[in-house]
């Protein structure tokens, strides 16, 4: 009999599992705290529950915690980890230490099926969705898991293409019986699947980022295929009109490519698109791979964009890349899966 995984279960689900044997919700919370906060990988070592419960659990369940199979360390101390499931799915996770802020960039899928040509993960192909447990495990199995302050869903895969597992992972990450990380410190990034975005906004209090590429529909279609079915302008309108609770952030990720989407015309398009909204725009450098002749916009051009957006009343920032030398930066995961 295949054992179920406790990592990936909510406290209520654990309670429903143990309640028929007479155990309580308090016991379920102790189990979830041991898995998510203490990262206990052996059921026999779970604290604050009776021996009888440990014995019964061990027959039907495992912790679900599994370690990465390999890792690489960047010169800037960013670490990329490779995970492999029992069924052979591989996916990468990035740990980014930065003073008091320690961020884990998690994958939602093994590979991706969005087909964006500038993204290396798309070339890897789609190997499958990750379960909520496989997503959360990317955080709690890391050597520095106890230091983690922020989570970003910006690794392999499209979160809105695996929305139910992503939402469940967000619940575990933010719940007091789980990792107890504030929703304000959790950001989910998407290329824009409207139904997924709407469900995410209603079901979670975590932050949302839309990867834009271009403010112009026809241009975006050539780089982000889902634009044909799910126009970014419609998603931005949803973001503009959605009632935002205090400190929840909506943003756009805009990867800047020299002479391709960094012209004055693109700057004016961004201004028009975001005028009167609280949506922030994060400007990021582009990372070419292999024979790609495209190059990132210069630092000066990125600062020019930022300055002109800010004086137009639009919140903007220039983000630096981390882990470029180990292919851990945005769009590079799966450049060469660690073996």
Give the integer Cα–Cα distance in Å for 201 and 187.
Answer: 12
Give the integer Cα–Cα distance in Å for 339 and 336.
Answer: 9
Give the integer Cα–Cα distance in Å for 119 and 43.
Answer: 40
330 part of the active site? yes
Give the integer Cα–Cα distance in Å for 61 and 2.
Answer: 8
Of 7, 72, 90, 92, catalytic: 92
User: Which of 317, 321, 251, 311 has its CA nearest to residue 286?
Assistant: 321
211 CB neighbour count, 10 Å cutoff: 24
Q: Are 109 and 91 in contact (CB under 8 A)?
A: yes
* Strand 150-153, strand 101-105: pairing: parallel
| 125: alpha, beta or left? (left if phi > 0; alpha if psi -120 to 50) | left
325 Cβ contact partners less than 8 Å away, ≥ 6 residues apart: 74, 75
Would you name the residues annotated as active-site residues?
92, 330
């Amino acid at each position: 009999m295949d054992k179920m995984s406790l990592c990936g279960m909510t406290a209520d689900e654990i309670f429903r599992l143990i309640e028929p044997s007479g155990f309580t919700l308090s016991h379920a919370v102790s189990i979830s705290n041991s898995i998510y906060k203490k990262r206990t990988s052996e059921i026999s070592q779970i604290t604050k529950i009776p021996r009888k419960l440990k014995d019964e659990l061990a027959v039907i369940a495992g912790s679900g915690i599994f370690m990465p199979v390999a890792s690489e360390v960047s010169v800037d101390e960013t670490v990329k980890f490779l995970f492999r499931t029992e069924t052979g799915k591989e996916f990468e996770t990035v740990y980014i230490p930065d003073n008091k802020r320690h961020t884990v960039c998690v994958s939602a899928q093994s590979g991706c099926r969005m087909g964006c040509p500038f993204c290396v993960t798309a070339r890897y192909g789609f190997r499958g969705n990750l379960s909520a447990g496989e997503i959360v495990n990317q955080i709690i199995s890391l050597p520095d898991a106890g230091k983690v302050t922020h989570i970003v869903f910006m690794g392999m895969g499209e979160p809105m293409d695996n929305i139910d597992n992503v939402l469940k992972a967000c619940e575990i990450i933010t719940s007091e019986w789980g990792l107890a990380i504030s929703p304000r410190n959790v950001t989910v990034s998407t290329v824009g699947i409207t139904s997924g975005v709407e469900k995410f906004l209603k079901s979670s209090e975590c932050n949302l980022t839309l990867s834009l590429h271009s403010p112009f529909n026809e241009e975006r279609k050539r780089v982000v295929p889902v634009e044909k079915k799910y126009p970014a302008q419609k998603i931005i309108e949803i973001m503009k009109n959605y009632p935002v609770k205090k400190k929840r952030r909506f943003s756009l990720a805009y990867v800047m490519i020299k002479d391709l989407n960094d012209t004055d015309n693109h700057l004016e398009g961004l201004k028009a698109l975001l005028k009167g909204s609280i949506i922030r725009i994060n400007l990021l450098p582009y990372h070419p791979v292999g024979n790609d002749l495209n190059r990132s916009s210069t630092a000066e051009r990125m600062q020019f964009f930022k300055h002109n957006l800010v004086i137009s009343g639009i919140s903007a920032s220039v983000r630096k890349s981390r882990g470029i030398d180990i292919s851990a930066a945005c769009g590079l995961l799966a450049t060469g899966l660690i073996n």
